[in-house]
Amino acid sequence: MNAMLETPELPAVFDGVKLAAVAAVLYVIVRCLNLKSPTAPPDLYFQDSGLSRFLLKSCPLLTKEYIPPLIWGKSGHIQTALYGKMGRVRSPHPYGHRKFITMSDGATSTFDLFEPLAEHCVGDDVTMVICPGIANHSEKQYIRTFVDYAQKNGYRCAVLNHLGALPNIELTSPRMFTYGCTWEFGAMVNYIKKTYPLTQLVVVGFSLGGNIVCKYLGETQTNQDKVLCCVSVCQGYSALRAQKTFMQWDQCRRFYNFLMADNMKKIILSHRQALFGDHVKKPQSLEDTDLSRLYTATSLMQIDDNVMRKFHGYNSLKEYYEEESCMRYLHRISVPLMLVNAADDPLVHESLLTIPKSLSEKRENVMFVLPLHGGHLGFFEGSVLFPEPLTWMDKLVVEYADAICQWERNKSQCSDTEQVPPLPQ
């Protein structure tokens, strides 16, 4: 009888366990999706100047809240994963022409050229020269989305295809793209300058491409000729500093490192004959044993040490990273420079962000933009669940370029006014 009276209490206990389990799952979801994180305008680091004040007035995105999709957009991991696997939503297919340039060492560099689809806001001929991220090219969805938007805003676009990244283009020399080699990007820029002598340039780099374009501009002053401004998005600034953080499990960086290394291995091995074949005149430091080490590599650092640095004859990984990082060239850039990173980028450790912060405190031409969310090259926007085709990043880069073009137009008009002699009384 007593047992019969006690049985009704069992479901109550069971319901309590279920409730605790549901609460635990909800807690994990809230933590993983970072749902409690606020939305806010990006943090801005700059020196007070005429240029910075003009940019703040002319670029509303710099002072407006960046609002990612409500359910998942505050997770840097999901933003990064969606960029990596999906690229963009409903990505357009801009029409362009592929150009081929034979380099001095026999390598065949390619880039795609897209003509503007509208008149530019200031009526000038302006070309965006774009360097994509690691192992990327003009056919990637995030590049196609950005190019289409830039074309519709009056920009010609030239997009570098990293050497060896396109699956249907064979290597013609025992070399492929590396972390900081600017040769192919420089060849593309020179082609644009010669073919369109009246054009002005807006330099844009994404991730690894940001390192390349900043290093290119800082290598010589002549590389900044005809350049209106430069925009770098989601780069890490110093490979030497980044290598230690990339081996840490914090924010799953070690896992991302493994995934990117696996992709790099596939690309390198797809060009096995061109890079390691018996008929190939390889760099003296590149040996057959390096190929066997490549198969077992689980990090980008191992690949760089065993293969990539040897394409350019560096004696050590430390030397390679020091020489190929843009950090030592940034202070030489005199044109307006906007550096963009996301605070929740799982690939770029927060310690690396001291580099652009410090630079923006010393240089009037530099603005560092740091939104809370966006991940690595994500920056998706949307209301609740589904993202918009165009990202905050796409709009910001074009908005900044438009503002700089207007700034330069205003300066030239003021200069012309000052040179006009007063009329006689």
In whole angstroms, give the CA distance from residue 201 to residue 272.
36
Q: Which helix (H) or strand (E) holds 101?
A: strand 97-102
Which residues, 6 or more positions from 372, have their beta carbon under 8 angstroms from its beta carbon?
A: 37, 38, 39, 40, 42, 66, 74, 342, 343, 344
- Long-range contacts, stretch 309-317, CB < 8 angstroms, 24+ apart: 309/178, 310/283, 310/285, 310/286, 311/174, 311/175, 311/176, 311/178, 311/181, 311/283, 311/286, 312/178, 312/181, 313/283, 313/285, 317/243
User: Torsions phi, psi of 212, nearest 5?
Assistant: -65, -45
Which residues have C-beta within 8 Å of that of residue 1, sequence separation ≥ 6?
none
Where does 281-361 show beta strands of DSSP type E? Answer: 337-340
Decide the pairing of beta strands 108-114 and 366-370.
unpaired
Under 8 Å between Cβ of 336 and 389? no
77, 346 contact by CB (below 8 A): yes
Residues whose CB is less than 8 angstroms from the CB of residue 202 and which lie 6 or more positions away in sequence, other chains included: 126, 127, 128, 129, 155, 227, 228, 229, 230, 231, 401, 404
Q: How far is CA 24 from CA 20, 21, 30, 31, in A?
A: 6, 5, 10, 11
Question: Using CA atoms, how far apart are residues 67 and 379, in angstroms rounded to an integer?
Answer: 9
Give the residue carrying structure tokens 């007070």.
48
Give the CA distances from residue 178 to residues 239, 283, 307, in Å, rounded to whole numbers and listed in that order: 12, 15, 10
Distance CA 6, CA 205 (A): 70
For the annotated catalytic residues, the residue numbers are: 207, 345, 376
Q: How far apart are the first and last CA of the chain?
A: 119
How far is the C-alpha of 273 from the C-alpha of 257, rounded, in Å?
A: 26
Token pair recorded at residue 59: 């670029």
SS3 content of the chain, % helix, strand, coil (to 5): 50, 10, 40
